[in-house]
Structure 1
Amino acid sequence: MIVFNGIGELGDDYKGVVVTLGVYDGLHRAHMNIVNQVITSATEWNTRSMMITFDPHPRNVLDSSGSPVKQLTTASEKVAILDDSALDSILFLNVDQDLLNTDSEVFVKTVLVDKLNVRKVIVGYDYHFGKNRGGKANRLLDYGKKYGFEVDIVGQILLKNEPIRSSVIRSLLADGNVGKAAKFLGRHYSIKGKVGHGSGRGKTLGFPTANIDLDCPDKMIPSDGIYLTECTVGTSQYYGICNIGIRKTFDEQNRIIEVYLMDVDAIDLYGHDLEMKFLERLRDEIKFATSAELITQMKKDERNCRARIKNIMVRMED
């Protein structure tokens, strides 16, 4: 898959493509349904497939003074996910005030028609574009007739009568419901970062942990609590017990993300990149009266995790 960072990187060989447009935060199952339709349509037209997406999130530029929209997928994560598909290319458009103030028809004429000479556009039913989000999905039908390209609008996709939407997944993660979020995403939710230096307290308790410094500060983090996770460091994978919270037992204030990797010999992870997938939520973060009580609970957590891992492996074999 080819990655274009801006319109200026496009060549003439990317004219006549089939495209989809959208923020596509999360690349969840409904998003991937659209992507697969783009790929299929491009194959039928004997041309290339492309996603046009936007970075940073438009709402964070529109209202820079408010709380930022937490991202489900960073730009690099989008590339990694789509690289496993048959999509030919992805075009990132930098979101700034100039782009946000571009009239919807001007955007269509400049990007889709003049630059790409698109043959077909496929978008979701709730897609908006242009100044003040004035261009709705249905308006693309009018532009398609005017400028000579086909338009398909994909309707809402449900999972057990619930809409699959990025906002729904954020709410699930905010509640710590990583299991249901995974069903909507079509994969386990994950975060990435470098292993940084912590206080070393976990080692003294018999459970040495790796502290994760996120690659993206605006990345969506599940709610505070204890989670069973699967971690990748380089080419190695480990199951881990992740704590997200403020270490209530020790009256700390800063929210941290730390993970204890099970069945790992003493290795120095500092400075290494680590990806962590959230498999299941175990419990809330609890304030214990003593370190001994905390250690007892952590041992219970580990036994619980090992039992759940066996169940996960059985489900994978079924």
Structure 2
Amino acid sequence: MKIYHQLSEFKKLDNAIVTIGTFDGVHYGHQKIIKRLCNLAKASGGESVLLTFFPHPRMIINPENQELKMINTINEKAEILANLGVDHLIITPFTRDFSNLSPKDYIKNILVDAIGTKKIIIGYDHRFGKDREGNIKLLESFGNEYGYEVEEIPEQDINDVAVSSTKIRNALLQGNVDLANDYLGYNFSLYGPVIKGDKIGRTIGFPTANIFIEETYKLIPGDGIYAVTVEMYEVESPKLKVESSKLKVESQNTNPNTALSTLNAQRSTYKGMAYIGHRPTINGMTRNIEVNIFDFNKEIYGQNIKMNFLHFLRPDVKFTGLDTLTQQLQADKEATLAYFNGK
């Protein structure tokens, strides 16, 4: 998959099959659209193009509202899209000027003149242009004039409940990772470097790796204990990074497109239990994200790891002391192992 940071980097195609959206979570419903996009591109001899935006439009239009958190970082989204088979990913910087583009100019200047769209695959509720006035009916009305077709993907349901990024966010905030993962079609994860903590876990037989999440817009699940798997790369992959709405790579000799391919390099996976919370038993002041990795005793400070959240075990509670906490952690480990053995 090729990645473009803005439309000016993209070379217009002869037969672009396009979809548009923020696609936060790239969930079950999004995947339906993307699979259809890729299949149509192959069948027509065209190329699939996904146009997305960063930052999320709501972060620009309502900057005073800091409550919106994203299910995926832009890098996580890129990795998922690459694995789904998308040919081209255009990450358009979302600005106030861009938000004021009229729906007609959006269609002509971006979809037609810049991308070369011949077919648009779109979700049932997609809106675009100034004040979100553009919709599927408007897209269809300009189809003959600009030489493209429109295909609508209807609302997708799981157990008669509509999938949406909002419902997934709410499930994660409540700690319900089982439901969120059902909606996503994959396991929610957190990715970041291991940083030094106060090493209290070592003194009670449960050493933990503390994870730092650099992207402040990334959603963190609700406080509690979780069964997780932890992935570590055998060779540390180049880190994709977004700065000023651009996807960059911290290694000077690597570009985002080649870096994405390294994300599927050989990796080791371990079982573990993760903790999210303020550590009330020791009167902690900050919210921590840490994981006790089973059957593992290496020093990994500074190494990036990926935690996949599988199951919520219990909420965070305050214990009377470290002895009581240790007993509970042993019970938590047994519950985690029982979860894995029962899968």
Give the TM-score taking structure 1 as reference length: 0.95
Q: Contact 1:60–1:68 (CA<8 Å) still a contact in 2?
A: no
Deviation at 1:42, TM superposition (A): 1.1
SS in 2 for 1:20: strand
1:137 to partner: Cα distance: 2.4
Name the counterpart of 1:181: 180
Q: What is the rounded CA distance, in whole Å, between the counterparts of 1:75 and 1:159 in structure 2?
A: 26
Taking only aligned residues, the RMSD between alpha carbons, in angstroms, comes to 1.0
* Cα separation, 1, equivalents of 2:70 and 2:162: 19
Partner residue in 2 for 1:274:
305
Q: Aligned residue for 1:264?
A: 296
Aligned residue for 1:302, secondary structure, equals helix
Give the equivalent residue in structure 1 for 2:245. none
Gaps of at least 5 residues in structure 2 are 234-266
Q: Does 1:127 align with 2:92?
A: no
User: What amino acid maps onto 2:282 in structure 1?
Assistant: F
Q: Does 1:48 align with 2:47?
A: yes
Which of the residues 248, 262, 268 maps onto 1:236? 268
Unaligned stretches of 5+ residues in structure 1: 313-318
Letter in 2 for 1:247: R
Match of 1:315 in 2: none
Number of residues of Structure 1 aligned to a counterpart in Structure 2: 310
Q: Look up the match of 1:316.
A: none
Q: Residue 6 of structure 1 aligns with which residue?
A: 6
CA contact (8 A) 2:208 2:291 kept: yes
**Offset, 1:39:** 0.9
1:146 shift after superposition: 2.7
Instruction: Identify the residue that residue 322 of structure 2 maps to in structure 1.
Output: 291
Residue 302 of structure 1 and its aligned partner are, at CA, apart by 0.6
Q: Quote the Cα distance in structure 1 between the aligned partners of 2:67 and 2:138.
A: 29
The alpha carbon displacement at 1:219 in A equals 0.6
Q: Distance in 1 between matches of 2:159 and 2:341?
A: 27
Q: For residue 275 of structure 1, report the CA deviation from its aligned partner.
A: 0.6
| Contact kept in structure 2, 1:191 and 1:275, CA below 8 Å | yes
Give the deviation of 1:69 after TM superposition: 1.6
Offset from partner CA, 1:19-41 (integer Å, 9 cap, x none) = 00000000001001000111111
1:141 paired residue number: 140
Asked if 1:224 corresponds to 2:256, the answer is no
Match of 2:257 in 1: none
The C-alpha deviation readout for 1:80-105, integer Å capped at 9, x for no partner, is: 11111222111110011111111111
Whether the 8 Å CA contact 1:57–1:69 is kept in 2: the answer is no
Which residue of structure 1 aligns with residue 195 of structure 2? 196
Q: How far apart are the structure 2 equivalents of 1:7 and 1:42? A: 20
Shift of 1:5: 1.2
CA-CA distance at 1:121 after TM superposition: 0.4
Q: TM-score, normalised by structure 2?
A: 0.88
User: Does the CA contact (< 8 Å) of 2:11 and 2:115 recur in 1?
Assistant: no
1:263 partner SS:
coil
**Distance of 1:37 and 1:121 partners within structure 2:** 11
SS at match of 2:328: helix
Equivalent residues of 1:226, 1:284 under 8 A apart: yes
| Contact map agreement 1:16 1:116 (CA 8 A) in 2 | no
Is the contact between residue 15 and residue 115 of structure 1 (CA under 8 Å) also seen in structure 2?
A: no
Instruction: Give 1:206's aligned amino acid.
Output: G
The answer to whether the 8 A contact 2:192-2:212 is kept is yes
What is the one-letter code of the residue matched to 2:81? L
> 1:42 & 1:51 partners in 2: Cα distance?
12
Equivalent AA in structure 2 for residue 259 of structure 1: V
Residue type of the partner of 1:119? K
d(CA) in 1 for partners of 2:275 and 2:308?
Answer: 13
Q: How far apart are the structure 2 equivalents of 1:140 and 1:69?
A: 29
**Aligned equivalents of 1:230, 1:272: Cα separation in 2:** 16
- CA drift of 1:8 comes to 1.3
Between stretches 267-276 and 142-151, larger displacement belongs to 142-151
Contact 1:6 1:92 in 2 (8 A): yes
Q: % of aligned pairs identical?
A: 33
Residue aligned with 1:106, SS:
helix
